[in-house]
Amino acid sequence: MLNPVSFLRTGLVAAAMCLALPAHAEKVVEQEIASDQQAFRIVQLAENLHHPWAVAQLPDGRFLVTERRGRLALVDNGETTYLSGVPEVSAKGQGGLLDVVLHPKFGDGSNDWIYLTYSKPSENGAESASAVVRAKLGDQGLVDVQPVFEQDRYSTPGRHYGSRLAWLPDGSLLMSIGDRGVVRERAQDLGDHAGSVLRMSETGAPVDGNPYLGDKRGLDEIYSYGNRNIQGMTVAADGRIWASEHGARTGDELNIIEPGINYGWPIVSKSFEYSGEAAIGEPSASGVRDAVYLFDGRFAPSGLAMVTSTRFPNWQGNLIAGGLGSEKLVRLVIDGDKVAETETLLEGQVGRIRDVRQGSDGYVYLVNDTNDAGLYRLEPITD
């Protein structure tokens, strides 16, 4: 359990009033993009966002967008308002305010919780750890902010936080944590949260069914391990967990996450050292789960959504994966536990794609990663 005093000492970013930016009219940035199954257009809904990391659509159609530097934006009909009450973040390197998701029963009056992940600074600010809080949306900002989870170990530098959240059908919460970028072998240490997918209750407690719950061989929250840096994660209607994961230089993976499985990093990978041609680990090994799919080249995955919406009937059951360095949006046709085919939907039109979400209204939403970024909606074009 987290110490509430320590949490409060970390500090909340407080403001007497929220900061509102001028409204931005919707703007069509690409009138028509052809694809194998569904032509679509790109509409920009907000602009001047600073390195946004994630987007979540509220039931009333408004959007919450995290900015890595530690601001939470509320986008309402093109007007962007910044909310108070956000926890203090370590906005260094890849760290900051990261994912945002709603409780699966959000809107029923009793579970209106918003979950945020972030890089939490240590007391002296030199180190950081991946953490989760939950809060409710008040008139001026976040209220009733509660700590949910904190990684077991603070470390440097500011990279490989993972930090995607996803809900399972049983109401438990998944969280990815990267290997933190220095000691790769942390991802193989079951006594370390780094390099893993965690599973917890809505309040952060480990839950029944976790492979190491009550087992001294591993931490109670660990669900899978050997994961370098998952930044895309979604749960299909059948409960299958899909995750897109950064390799080093090439070797970016799509995996199906299952309990107790070792996904190999760094002893098994298809990636290479950034500094040269040396391979990292072995291409395969006994006891290690191979990737379902390897993305082409240096894809740099971030953001993953399963399309279920009737707005895109020809994409139903497909995964949509965003890429950072590649600036791509890729559609993956799933056949059981395999990728049957792929199609590149976007390449460069919106730049580095940080998050991909299917909204509560059935449209697909993107945010790009730059200091003057936007929130975008993909709209199908029908005859």
Q: Which residues are catalytic?
A: 160
**Is 111:105 a contact under the CB 8 Å cutoff?**
yes
From residue 93, how far is each of 118, 154, 162, 291, 301 by CA, in Å?
Answer: 13, 15, 13, 28, 17
Rounded Cα–Cα distance for residues 268 and 266 (Å) = 5
Which residue in this structure is represented by tokens 């659509």?
Answer: 57
> What is the chain's alpha carbon radius of gyration, rounded to the nearest angstrom?
20
Torsion angles phi and psi, residue 83, rounded to 5? -95, 145
Q: What is residue 318's three-state secondary structure?
A: coil
Rounded Cα–Cα distance for residues 331 and 333 (Å) = 7
Exposure of 289 by Cβ count < 10 A (0-12 exposed, 13-18 middle, 19+ buried)?
A: middle
Helices (H), the chain: 4-10
**Is 325:298 a contact under the CB 8 Å cutoff?**
yes
Which residue in this structure is represented by tokens 């900061």?
Answer: 19
**Is 49:73 a contact under the CB 8 Å cutoff?**
yes
